[in-house]
Structure 1
Amino acid sequence: MRPSRNQTLIEALAVEVKVRRQELGFTQEDLAGRCDLDRPFISLIEVGKKQPSISVLYRIATALDLKFGEFCDRIDMRYRKAMKSTERQRRSQAAKE
């Protein structure tokens, strides 16, 4: 499977993993241990450098005490918010030109 080129979606995933981990008071090491992954891999996900498979996303969601659907919904909300912001910025820039 090819990596996604949708940087906004990748960033939404990255932010959601980090924010939820911090909400729970977990370190990257804690999260890695809970989902049987390496800490550097978690770090790379959180900065948008790695795109985990769906099975890894499922493990991360579970480790973050979320149902997979809820995890996906949270990512989707972040993604849609970012897309709306980008669209507003684009319109504002177009109006200035």
Structure 2
Amino acid sequence: MTLAKVFGKVLKQRREALNLSQEELAFEAGLHRTYISLLERGVKSPTLNVLFRLAEALDIPPSQFIQKIEVQLKTLELYEDSED
């Protein structure tokens, strides 16, 4: 799984935990709904500016948001290593 896909997974999990639609998140972050969809599917990767805007809209510090991505990546690495 690519970094963009892991980012998208974490983004979607956080958005859904807050019961926000893609449209509501897009509005709060000043982005377009289709861009949120592309991010969640791992088609696009966010810029640093977008990451900070999303974190603010999701009411989470950017560092904690990145930490959640790191945890997902580590979990994925452990899973892939166990398959070898």
1:3-28, Cα deviation, whole Å (9 max, x unpaired):
xxxx4322210100000000000000
TM-score (norm 1): 0.83
Structure 1 vs Structure 2 CA RMSD: 0.9
- For 2:24, the equivalent position in structure 1 comes to 30
Task: Detail structure 1 runs of 4+ shifted over 6 Å in the superposition.
Answer: none
Q: Quick one: distance in 2 between partners of 1:8 and 1:87?
A: 16
- For 1:64, the equivalent position in structure 2 comes to 58
Gaps of 5+ in 2: none
TM-score (norm 2): 0.95
For these two proteins, the number of residue pairs brought into alignment is 84
Gaps of 5+ in 1: 1-6, 92-97
Query: What is the Cα deviation at residue 86 of structure 1?
Result: 1.1
1:1-97 matches, within 5 Å, as: 7-89=1-83, 91=84
**Do 2:8 and 2:39's aligned partners in 1 also have CA atoms closer than 8 Å?**
yes
